[in-house]
Amino acid sequence: MTGHVIDLNDVTVSQWNAILKLAHDIKEAPMVYAGACRGKIMGTLFYEPSTRTQMSFQTAMLRLGGGIIGFDNPSTSSVSKGENLKDTTKIVSGYSDILVMRHPLEGASKAAALTADCPVINAGDGGHLHPTQTLTDLLTLREEKGRLEGLTVGFCGDLKNGRTVHSLLKALSCYPDNKFILVSTDELRVPGYIKDYISASGKTYEEYSSLEEVMPKLDVLYMTRIQQERFASREEYEAQKNVFRLDAKKMKLASKDLIVLHPLPRVDEIAVEVDDDPRALYFKQANYGMYVRMALILSVLNYKLESQPLLRGEIINDATCTNPKCICHTEKYLPHSFRRAGDVIVCEYCDGRQLL
């Protein structure tokens, strides 16, 4: 069986580039690939609401000539009866050639892949990772900027819980000469493990609390919404939601070559007036997502991806992940698997860190 796609960094950069090249080719000549997945079935397990990711995956498979099964609301499945993740995954993967999962808990896709009978693609796991959105973002940059290196990329909004931000920062850290500008409130800064990854790759980042201050410096601005569903209370969300807003006035501060991306949905962090600016590419970005997911499905089903083993650390039975949003707290059967980093152990499901 070919590799799962849980974290984009589990496959090589050359494999990413091959997927992006295939996505470009599909965009240029979609009819050539119209029957490429005839007779194949994709299972979709969406434990969390989704519009673009779910529909673009479904459209991708249909345009390739394949079929679809699954659910987009766990209340309509046996999950509502208390079925655990392993059992749901085992059943649906037995019916499918490829499985796509979105889940609100971090590390869920990796946990599912441990026992699945077909390749699993992570379509977003809590605030952790979103590798297929990252491929979409990389394709957008490649098509619209003509390169994936030498870019100054600004990220603005909820950088703590934004899985799209985490995945894209990790991916762009693998290309030469990229720099990152991180704009957020103190409460919503990028997690430490992502900053460590950037630093280990030899890239630099700067942190700001003002969007206006950084606009002239950017080649790319990646806006994100403040995610209400990731906050413990409505009050915490309300305190953060209107801090950053991109409007026409701020766009005037930016270079004519800037491009503005957003994984969507937006709430009020980008004013509607910005939509008419030719530098606003977030709707076009969403369309690129269908082509990149077509390419990814083909790559997985044609055994062109070989990922790393899912668990590469060690089992420490007396250790428990301290991240309350980690899948390991609800799926009690999972191995207590951690990577060691000096005096720190790192959870292999959610990348949560703690002292030994």
Catalytic amino acids? 52-53, 81, 102, 130
What would the two tokens of residue 127 be?
């605030």
* Short-list 89, 166, 160, CA closest to 133: 166
CA distances for 302 relative to 47, 53, 107, 228, 310, angstroms = 27, 22, 26, 39, 20
Sign of the Cα torsion 263, 265, 271, 274 reads positive
For 68, counting Cβ atoms within 10 Å of its Cβ (0-12 exposed, 13-18 middle, 19+ buried), the class is middle
CA distances for 156 relative to 21, 60, 207, 278, 279, angstroms = 29, 29, 10, 20, 16
| Distance, CA of 119 to CA of 98 (rounded, Å) | 5
Q: Count the alpha carbons within 13 Å of 137 in the hemisphere toward its beta carbon.
A: 28
Are the C-beta atoms of residues 100 and 43 closer than 8 Å to each other?
yes
For 210, counting Cβ atoms within 10 Å of its Cβ (0-12 exposed, 13-18 middle, 19+ buried), the class is exposed
| Distance, CA of 202 to CA of 232 (rounded, Å) | 35
* Short-list 93, 220, 109, CA closest to 155: 220
CA distances for 347 relative to 130, 306, 316, 332, 352, angstroms = 18, 23, 10, 14, 5
